[in-house]
Amino acid sequence: MHEIETLAQFDEVVAAGHGLDHCVVQSLDLRAREDALARCTVDATLFMGCDVGAAEEDLRARGALLFPKIPDSPLNPYRASLYRAVNLYDTMPAGSYADSFDALAYAWTRAGGGMPSLQKTLVAALHDHAISDALEEYLDDLGQQQVVGVMGGHAVERGSSGYATTAALGMTLAQEGFLVASGGGPGAMEAANLGARLSPHGPEALGEALGMLASVPSFRPSIDDWVRVAFDVKARFAGGADTLGVPTWFYGHEPPNVFATRIAKYCSNAVREATLLELCRGGLIFLPGAAGTVQELFQAVTANYYATDPSTITPLVLVGIQQWGGVLPAWPLLRSLGTGRAMGDAIALVDTIEEAGAWLAAR
């Protein structure tokens, strides 16, 4: 099925005279194209969240399927593209985060006392499906560029040595030709996206950016201040390399970082976790973290452990000998699981971020 996601694509298909049979038309305002709709064949055409004006009854009669907009939700369940920071922070930097799309979406997902209505679960599922589809299209456009995921906690503060070294890692990986992905939030996730985005600008620019960001170390107590200084950095260093963030409104109290050029934000954390780990075929780097990072680690290990084709195994590198060997002793367990299996050659424990980047780039 051919997907039509822009008015330009719609006009191109119509002009070619092929009709719209079996096409999927997503989230378009087609009220000014009612004449074109009347001329096109629409057998089994899916109009998802489109405004077709007075053509609705005629389209249904000729075999089209129309999925209507769903009221009382800030989310577009038929969204055709990934988010950008300006979509999530649509009121920033001049306004307040509390009024932003991201904040309103988080409030909507949390409303209902943990007992969401059927309508809400339907919207959330359709939205996440649309985001996954947009992410797949984005990755297809990248061709053979490999994705490397940097997994780490949200508590790493701007101005700290851990934040700086993670940003340097993101820059190194991007310069090696990888697309750097993170969980899309603050802390180590932000640092990885920052370094990757600034990779064309070089280490001096990164150092200046780190100095600017250090003035607001955390998103607590003020998300507004945290976001505004990040927008200042973006304005100071325009453009940059592509980098991906995959956050979730499940952890909506952690605001998304603005340095990811594409943001695949999900309602379901389970879908988000599975998606993030699946797309990082170039490797996963696990920095010190807590329960969320440990969950991601063993979710990736499970896929590697049961892989029947060695070429599908994702390289995993753990950073912090004391962290993963003592504080949270995952490494001994990983070594035992990897003994005699293909995954055993695809895991490593190193003590520094620099070693992690070198190990991954050498594979």
- pLDDT tens digits for 4-44? 999 999 999 999 988 999 999 999 999 999 999 999 999 99
Q: Per residue in 262-321, pLDDT tens? A: 999 999 999 999 999 899 999 999 998 888 889 999 999 999 999 989 888 999 999 999
Alpha-carbon distance values, 208 to 2, 157, 177, 180 (Å):
46, 16, 23, 21
Q: Left, alpha or beta for 94 (phi > 0: left; psi -120 to 50: alpha)?
A: alpha
Task: Give me the pLDDT at residue 1, please.
Answer: 66
Helix, strand, or coil (residue 251): helix
What are 269's two structure tokens? 């954390």
The one-character DSSP state at 312 is G
Average pLDDT over residues 57-84: 94
Q: Which of 97, 117, 105, 299 is CA-nearest to residue 186? A: 97
Q: Per residue in 308-318, pLDDT tens? A: 898 889 999 99
User: What's the rounded Cα separation, in Å, for the pair 78 and 67?
Assistant: 9
> From the CB of residue 7, how many other CB atoms can be counted at a distance below 10 Å?
13
Task: Give me the pLDDT at residue 113, please.
Answer: 62
Spatial contact of 211 and 190, defined as CB atoms under 8 Å apart: no
Average pLDDT over residues 82-103: 97
Q: Per residue in 153-198, pLDDT tens? A: 899 999 999 999 999 999 999 999 999 999 999 999 999 999 999 9
- Band of the pLDDT at 149, cuts 50, 70, 90? very high
Q: How far is CA 215 from the centre of its chain?
A: 26
pTM listed for this prediction: 0.93
> What structural domains and CATH numbers belong to the chain?
3-67 (no CATH), 144-361 (3.40.50.450)
Helix, strand, or coil (residue 191): helix
Task: Give me the pLDDT at residue 114, please.
Answer: 59
Task: Give me the pLDDT at residue 245, please.
Answer: 98
What are 340's two structure tokens? 């005699």
Average pLDDT over residues 96-108: 96
- Band of the pLDDT at 52, cuts 50, 70, 90? very high
H or E stretch covering 295: helix 291-305
Task: Give me the pLDDT at residue 348, please.
Answer: 96
User: What's the rounded Cα separation, in Å, for the pair 309 and 171?
Assistant: 31
Q: Left, alpha or beta for 75 (phi > 0: left; psi -120 to 50: alpha)?
A: beta
